[in-house]
Amino acid sequence: SEWTLYQNETFGYEVKYPQGWTVDADRYEGTSTQIVSPDENVWIITTVVSDSRLTEENGFETVIANIEEGLRQDPRYQVDVFEKQARNTEYLVGGYSTGGSFQETSGKTYHFEEMGILMKEDAGLVYVITIHVPNEKTEEYGFSVSEDIFHTWIQAGCLLWN
């Protein structure tokens, strides 16, 4: 399938997504962008959050613990895996990946995968990408979509991992 590149000039990231999907960069007042499949079943949400604790000593552990705790305490989420990796470079503090299930208040259940890159720059930023696929659509969409999308996100982050 053909891919389109979304570039966020404000926060300096880019992500590939399947051609024909819809981008809504204004949905969350500029801090998040939602990319939706034509049938509105799959959502990709990119978010950038400022967190000055990332510039402090042990900031990564504090912030990552808050992220994991927030997901695990949210009754809509069932977290099956949460992996983190600290990395102390000039710009990078570390990253995480997580996945499991998400249930809307309507009862509809999704498989979700999320990846975050935590940075020291600009007084601490967390770059997050989340993908939601309805459980009944996971075979149709497969996880090649999320693998391809995460691959481009990782490539952008890898420039900073080294």
The pLDDT tens digits of the residues spanning 99-157 come to 999 999 999 999 998 988 888 876 898 988 888 888 888 777 765 555 666 655 555 55
* Mean of pLDDT values over 1-29: 81
pTM: 0.85
The confidence score (pLDDT) of residue 1 equals: 62
Handedness of CA 148, 153, 38, 78 (dihedral sign): positive
- DSSP, collapsed to helix, strand or coil, labels residue 15 as strand
d(CA 50, CA 35): 21
